[in-house]
Structure 1
């Protein structure tokens, strides 16, 4: 049996009744919320969050510059799913995340997409470099570069 090692991180997640639309499937807008919560939890566990209404580090101050999602097969009903995310590229001031919403067993891809974050300077709201700490953590999410044979 071949073991496939996925880049990034898979966060277990629970779909609740209020995530569903009138047809009993996850509402399309909830997928972005699922990713946001998974990313927030992951970064919070590494010291990058909000405490007492204030950011714990400057790296928490970022904006989403781009977001795209493709829906593959609906999540039908409540229960466990997985939110798989990784960093495709890490720039000086930006990070490109890729993500997939998976069935609990990881066998079904319900949706997949891309999100671009840009770190902002709180005074100017212009792009600012990620800290060394954030870069170190983000590197653990980087997908390996696969060289194609010539």
Structure 2
């Protein structure tokens, strides 16, 4: 799969039989899992992950504060899809992702929505600022230019 979407990234993803409901379409709860796995893969490839139950960096410690999804067209059966995601905003301690679940050719939007993460201090579990490393890593996902992001802070 080679769908080009700007801003952000499209992660190819495979729908498996156990993702389907009794009608043979992707169960509504699986869309959140698809996004979670796509984000985890993208960040993990850039060194932000968990290994042995420990975060590789403080930026790996975050919680979902909000999740909103609209379903547009069912994904029917198993096979390939694309998970397109981008950052609408990277705040002091929050990250607002936009996302779409796409057909393999990118022509059909199966679902779309947003997810808000809050970065947490690993010791206190209170909101904490993203590191400069995380901000640099996130730049390709940002929906606005780096200059505009700097002005938003």
TM-score (norm 2): 0.90
Alpha-carbon distance in structure 1 between the residues aligned to 2:96 and 2:79: 29
Q: What RMSD over aligned residues (CA atoms) do the two structures have, in Å?
A: 1.1
Q: Following superposition of structure 1 onto structure 2, how do residues 64-79 of structure 1 map, counting pairs within 5 Å?
A: 64-79=64-79
Distance 1:144 1:116 in 2: 17
Q: For 1:42-68, what per-residue CA distance to the aligned partner results, in whole angstroms no more than 9, with x for missing partners?
A: 000000001122110000100000000
Output one character per residue of 1:6-48: Cα deviation in whole Å (capped at 9) or x when no partner. 2000000000000000000000000000000000000000000
Question: 1:144 offset after TM fit, Å?
Answer: 2.8
CA distance in 2, matches of 1:53, 1:64: 19
Partner of 1:52: 52
CA distance in 2, matches of 1:52, 1:63: 19
Which residue does the alignment assign to 1:92? 92
Structure with greater helix share of residues: 2
Gaps of 5+ in 2: 146-153
Over residues 46-91 of structure 1, what are the superposed CA-to-partner deviations in whole Å (9 max), with x where a residue is unaligned? 0000112211000010000000000000000000000000000010
